[in-house]
Structure 1
Amino acid sequence: MTKKVCIAGATGWAGSALTKAVHAQTDMEVAGAVSRTRKGEKLAEVLGLEKTDVIITDSVTRQLLADARVLVEFTKPDVAMTHIMTALDAGVHVVVGTSGLTDADYAQIHEKALEKKVGVLAAGNFALTVVLLQKFSEIAARYIPQWEIIDYAGDAKKDSPSGTARELAFRLSQVRQPQLTVPLADTQGPVEARGADMTGSQVHSIRLPGFTLSSEIIFGMPDQTLTIRHDAGTSAQPYVDGALLAIRKVDTFTGLRRGLDHVMDLDA
């Protein structure tokens, strides 16, 4: 059976690559496309696709989702929650790749998804290397009691920290809380210099020209450190492969799951 997919952010950097990929799949179909900057235009003309009559809209509505099985949310934090809640109210499964949503947002999404008996798979980053960074970090946190997260991105990225850093901090909080030698309250000087406290982890966001996206976590013990780092390239392909997997798997469970590893076999 062909899975019908609505993509919010269909003409963006990652969204356009994903839209083209969904259109090329034999088991998927682009059933709707959302872009505030290309409203009213034909998706086929904007992205150079064949055999689709989808007209781009500027928001996610129940009417747009009438035939959709899955909504992919790849827009901005200021509209993402509205899109996600609209989809859940319509009984549509959701794949979330939008950065900047908070733990409180995700708690609300989980509650609504359970109520509507649909699945939501959220990933701050769909790249396989990020999935492995998260898993390796969870293992390291079992043995090393102190760590800090560094989040790198270009100067134009508004959300800080990134969704990848937020997700990593949240996942580590499920393992343990880091044991700071000097409590933040005892910091001499501006406490902000120690980074932001994200569910117990200190997170430092760097926004400078020259960076694409990178995530780094440094674990420290006496006389030794461990650094795990992911660096993104300029292509959206790593995110596309993960998002396609998420689309195929999001209707196999109920409620919210954070992290692509939840639908991957990484236990072997």
Structure 2
Amino acid sequence: MPIKVCIAGATGWAGSALSKGVANHPGFELVGAIARKKAGDNLAEVLDLGPGNIPIFADIDTALEQLQFDVLVEYTKPDSAMKNVLAALKKGINTVIGTSGLTEQDYKKIEEAATTANTSVLAVGNFALTVVLLQKFSEMAAKYIPNYELIDYAHESKIDSPSGTARELAHRLSNVQESTLFVSEADLVGIKESRGARLEGVQVHSVRLPGHVISIEAIFGLKDEKLTLRHDSGASAEPYVQGALLAIEKVGTFKGLQRGLDSVMDF
């Protein structure tokens, strides 16, 4: 039996590429979508997916009333993501989160809901393989070098700061060890905000400018030596598709909340 999938944000930049990937996957069936501006339309026609009817709903409640599906892929915005995820979990539907900008408090609520409903959530800040490798390499480096900071780059219209990629990396590195803060905020002179933000014990800086899509940089420093690990994405959403397809396939193999694509990969 194919895994029945509904995608929230199916007509967006990343969501549309994933919709095509799911529609072409032999083990999946794309049965519905959530996209407020295209509600009432046929996703198969909107994205030229071929024959068939894939209804687009305005909201998660309507989709849950009229559809039966196994996995919700959440690819919208932070303000609507929590409602979508919690509603799906309450109905016993496993969920893959690709939405950027959810906080640690959000994830605590999601984990509680998943545990209560005995369902599964796989939250991935970035589905690209190169990001997965950067996360793993950064965790290795943080074991030996406590002096590090993160720089998060994105296009000028990205509304969440830091990005989901940066939040996830900060979370993971803080579990290894927090980054050294050589001068405390109280002792700083000048404009304190220029030093970035302290996120789970990790110093993070966000840059928002034209010319960037999504990039993340982890910089580690020791006396007279420096290590820089960096991921840069291009203009296409294609790098995120294969990782998201893997997440859909694997989200039902555990219970509760897992974070990071590597948690379901064999390293």
**Superposition TM-score tier, normalisation by shorter sequence:** over 0.9
Q: Which amino acid aligns with 1:116?
A: A
The question of whether the paired residues in 2 share the 8 Å contact of 1:120 and 1:250 is answered with yes
Report 1:162-173 matches (<5 A). 162-173=163-174
Question: Whole-Å Cα distance in 2 between the matches of residues 129 and 163 of structure 1?
Answer: 15
Please state how far the C-alpha of 1:108 moved relative to its aligned partner: 0.5
Q: Which amino acid aligns with 1:128?
A: L
**Aligned pair 1:143/2:174, yes or no?**
no
Report 1:17-28 matches (<5 A). 17-28=17-28
Report 1:34-73 matches (<5 A). 34-61=34-61, 63-64=64-65, 66-73=67-74
Report 1:1-268 matches (<5 A). 1-61=1-61, 63-64=64-65, 66-266=67-267
User: What's the TM-score, normalizing by structure 2?
Assistant: 0.97
The question of whether the paired residues in 1 share the 8 Å contact of 2:92 and 2:119 is answered with yes
User: What's the TM-score, normalizing by structure 1?
Assistant: 0.97
The question of whether the paired residues in 2 share the 8 Å contact of 1:43 and 1:52 is answered with no
Please state how far the C-alpha of 1:65 moved relative to its aligned partner: 7.0
Question: Whole-Å Cα distance in 2 between the matches of residues 53 and 154 of structure 1?
Answer: 34
Question: Whole-Å Cα distance in 1 between the matches of residues 30 and 52 of structure 2?
Answer: 8
Secondary structure of the 1:37 match is helix
Please state how far the C-alpha of 1:38 moved relative to its aligned partner: 0.7
Q: Which runs of 5+ in 1 are unaligned?
A: none
Please state how far the C-alpha of 1:262 moved relative to its aligned partner: 0.2
The question of whether the paired residues in 1 share the 8 Å contact of 2:32 and 2:67 is answered with no
Secondary structure of the 1:265 match is coil
Question: Whole-Å Cα distance in 1 between the matches of residues 212 and 180 of structure 2?
Answer: 31
Q: Which amino acid aligns with 2:47?
A: L
Percent identical residues = 58
The question of whether the paired residues in 2 share the 8 Å contact of 1:119 and 1:251 is answered with yes
The question of whether the paired residues in 2 share the 8 Å contact of 1:65 and 1:90 is answered with no
Question: Whole-Å Cα distance in 2 between the matches of residues 70 and 38 of structure 1?
Answer: 21
Question: Post-superposition, which runs of at least 4 consecutive aligned residues in structure 1 deviate over 4 A?
Answer: none
Please state how far the C-alpha of 1:33 moved relative to its aligned partner: 0.5
Q: Which amino acid aligns with 2:261?
A: L
Please state how far the C-alpha of 1:51 moved relative to its aligned partner: 3.2
Q: Which amino acid aligns with 1:114?
A: T
* 156-165 or 179-188, larger mean C-alpha shift: 179-188
Please state how far the C-alpha of 1:182 moved relative to its aligned partner: 1.6
Number of residues paired by the alignment? 266
Q: Which amino acid aligns with 1:124?
A: G
Secondary structure of the 1:63 match is helix
Question: Whole-Å Cα distance in 2 between the matches of residues 155 and 235 of structure 1?
Answer: 17
The question of whether the paired residues in 1 share the 8 Å contact of 2:179 and 2:203 is answered with no
Distance 1:147 1:40, change over 3 A: same
Please state how far the C-alpha of 1:184 moved relative to its aligned partner: 2.3
The question of whether the paired residues in 1 share the 8 Å contact of 2:152 and 2:206 is answered with yes
Question: Could you list the per-position Cα deviations for residues 87-115 of structure 1 after superposition, in whole angstroms to 9, with x for gaps in the alignment?
Answer: 00000000000001000000110011011
* 52-61 or 18-27, larger mean C-alpha shift: 52-61
Question: Whole-Å Cα distance in 2 between the matches of residues 4 and 68 of structure 1?
Answer: 5
Question: Whole-Å Cα distance in 2 between the matches of residues 98 and 6 of structure 1?
Answer: 15
- RMSD of Structure 2 on Structure 1 (CA): 1.1
Question: Whole-Å Cα distance in 1 between the matches of residues 151 and 66 of structure 2?
Answer: 38
Please state how far the C-alpha of 1:66 moved relative to its aligned partner: 4.2
